[in-house]
Amino acid sequence: MIQYFHWYTPADGSLWKTVKDEARHLAEVGVNAVWLPPAYKGADGANSHGYDVYDMYDLGEFDQKASVRTRFGTRQEYIDAINAIHDAGMQVYVDVVANHLTGADETEKIKVRKVDPENRNKFISEPMEIEAFTKFTFPGRNGQYSNFVWDHQCFSGIDYDNLTKETAVFSILNEYGEGWEEVIDTENGNFDYLMGADVEFRNPAVREEFRRWGEWYYNAVHFDGFRLDAVKHITPEFFNTWLDQMRGYAQKELFAVGEYWAPGRLDLLVRYIEATNGKMSLFDAPLQHNFHEASKAGKDYDLRTIFHDTLVAVKPLLAVTVVDNHDTQPLEALEAPVEPWFKPLAYALVLLREQGYPCIFYPDMYGAKYTGKEGEGNDREIYLPGVENIDKLISARDRFAYGQQRDYFDHANCIGWTREGDGEHPGCAVVLSNGEDGSKHMEIGRQYAGKKFVDHYGKHDAEIVIEEEGWATFLCRAGSVSVWVMAG
């Protein structure tokens, strides 16, 4: 799949048109599915990235938050883009942000208790009244598609008192219980609350509205799966029910991948998968962190450990492997970018192996340039170059990465593996180095004896002839990757 956006995607309303124009090319390169950003109206209107959710029924159709279109375009342009993706033979994954709403239309006087931000299970005030932005009536939509009104009974937490202008974490006292819902993560005592008006999934009316919205959304655009935002802050029980409902309604196995970003905490990812009974995949945050560390350390990183403590190593069928995403980009809160020199190696490690479902990041295919703020508010211009010949790595997966996999992770600076191929596809041999020029003696299969192999990635002009027993010594350049495939 490809994540067809990044945090600095221009707010000019052009993305859906670009998707439509590029769909055929993506399919020809070898992409099978396109993950699109949140398509509904956010509190920041035309500038919103979609994660500050305001109205999930407004796909760029209503004059709300000072704009009809979203950051990415209009509802019709969105539908046209999805139709183009489907016409090109690919699937569409929509971004679902279920954790919170922002930009309320009215305030309410509500009862809350303040909690310790470091231990949110600990109340640090008696029940008190605040004026909270918790009522969503969506006057610009005027009841079209849904008459549901969100009020404080639909939320478990808020972070602002409009009376005192105080910012804090407040637990809302409603009829569904005092305190937070149970989540897997114990960071801050309980990490149910993230931002905005935190959705109260113990309210059956809220769960029913999400069911209705999901069915409406499916009828509107006929997506093929979901990227589920911020699942670490949402009780697994909600998704267990909602995904079953959506798959039953669509009468097909809608794909789902959750964002549980916890580098270094493989145990939490595994617990979430177990709590959701394997109903969703997760992004492999630990692997992305390993790539980040490896790119910083250079030849001092032991490549034999690149898959240690990663989701793809223990749950390969439920791991979506990423090199970078919009949260790990420079200047973001979770900033952990992979250095450009290492990205071809990282992409080979996710694209050309049997395990995992690889996700390509938009700037790594197209490049991206943007200006952000850092430190004392100084502008910092960032250029993210596209990964050299990434289309060749994608096409190598599509054409050669099949059959038995043999690993040769036996040197700290040079590792490799072979894919033997199957009855329809020839195999390949992959070698990568984070140090000097390297080589790896590997078995690819007796059926290739006497056959000539060439470097599909274009780093070597030489040919390699496979030995009688199906072995050969495959080469790679310093700090690079080579993908050897049968000549012709």
Dump pLDDT digits (tens) for 397-414.
999 999 999 999 999 999
Choice among 44, 185, 259, 455 that is catalytic: 259
Q: Average per-residue pLDDT in the chain?
A: 95
* 379 marked among binding-site residues: no
pLDDT at 259: 97
pLDDT digits (tens, 9 = 90+) for 223-269: 999 999 999 999 999 999 999 999 999 999 999 999 999 998 999 99
Per the CB < 8 A criterion, the answer to whether 488 and 451 are in contact is no
Average confidence (pLDDT) over 31-40: 98
> Helix, strand, coil % (nearest 5) of the chain?
30, 30, 40
* 28 is annotated as an active-site residue: no
Residue-wise pLDDT tens digits, 457-476: 989 999 999 999 999 999 99
Percent of residues, the chain, with pLDDT higher than 70: 98
Residue 44 annotated as part of some ligand binding site: no
Quick check: 227 and 95 in contact, CB under 8 A? yes
Q: Is 274 a catalytic residue?
A: no
pLDDT at residue number 373: 60
pLDDT value of position 385: 85
Residue 202 has pLDDT above 70, yes or no: yes
Q: Which domains does the chain have, with CATH numbers?
A: 2-98+204-395 (3.20.20.80), 101-199 (2.40.30.140), 402-486 (2.60.40.1180)
Which tens digit of pLDDT belongs to each residue from 284-327?
A: 999 999 999 999 999 999 999 999 999 999 999 999 999 999 98
pLDDT beyond 80 at 374: no
pTM of the model: 0.95
Are the C-beta atoms of 2 and 366 separated by less than 8 Å?
A: no
Helices (H), 124-261: 204-221, 236-250
Q: Which residue has the higher pLDDT, 335 or 93?
A: 93
pLDDT band at 328 (very low <50, low <70, confident <90, very high): confident
pLDDT band at 488 (very low <50, low <70, confident <90, very high): confident
For 376: left if phi > 0, alpha if psi spans -120 to 50, otherwise beta; the answer is alpha
Summarised one tens digit per residue, pLDDT across range 344-357 is: 999 999 999 999 99
Active-site option among 61, 181, 229, 284: 229
Q: Is 192 annotated as a binding residue?
A: yes
**What string of DSSP letters covers 297-318?**
HGGGS-GGGTTTT-HHHH-GGG
Taking the C-alpha atoms of residue 95 and residue 42, their distance in angstroms, rounded to an integer, is 13
